Copies of this chain bind each other. A is one copy, B any other.
């Protein structure tokens, strides 16, 4: 799809926001009000540009006859899938994002920030298998028994969390793997977040 200008992006965002807020698309006048234009033709031209570039369709003659293209509608509702690379942290930086998948607000009980693609079988006995997508909420507030994403220097790992005092144990759910003992103040140690759910695509 053709790139949008900054103004056109603003107009598209305005349409999305208006629909989310009211349930129906804006009129030309509504767009002018939201973005400070003084002529309805300003909105009209932008709409025609968005239509030409394939981001919306317009039903001629119909009031509020704006329809977001499939592609456009989904863009606002995706969540990144991040690969668990042995070296490197799961940040939201573009180079770490595997793909985007549709986002459903109330899919899990807690909200979450990204999906982590699982590599290896260290959490096998917790029912977390290779290639599963674990929903991660970014937080450092974790409790004993939580499944957490922990970073130790450049290593990122998914384990059970267990702490007593300053001592932290990262426990795998697989006898073939070793427990990791670490100190709270250890340099380079960091809790990225915790698991709040899981989805698997067969």
Q: Interface residues, chain A, CB within 8 Å of chain B?
A: 22-25, 27, 57, 59, 62-68, 73, 101-102, 104-110, 124, 126-129, 132, 147, 195-202
Contact = CB atoms under 8 A, between A and B. Distances in A.
A200 B127 contact: yes
B127 A199 contact: no
The 8 closest A-B pairs by CB, nearest first: A23-B67, A63-B63, A127-B129, A198-B200, A127-B127, A104-B104, A199-B199, A64-B64
A100 B106 CA distance: 12
B67 A22 contact: yes
Given A127-B129, A201-B197, A27 B108 contact: no
Contacts of A67: 22-24
Given A24-B24, A64-B24, A124-B127, A102 B102 contact: no
Nearest to A118: B127
Contacts of A128: 127
B107 A22 contact: no
Given A64-B64, A127-B128, A108 B202 contact: yes
B199 A198 contact: yes
B197 A199 contact: yes
A104 B73 CA distance: 13
Nearest to A74: B106
Given A102-B107, A107-B102, A68 B201 contact: no
Given A102-B104, A102-B106, A202-B108, A65 B127 contact: no
Contacts of A129: 126-127
Contacts of A65: 22, 24
Contacts of A57: 23
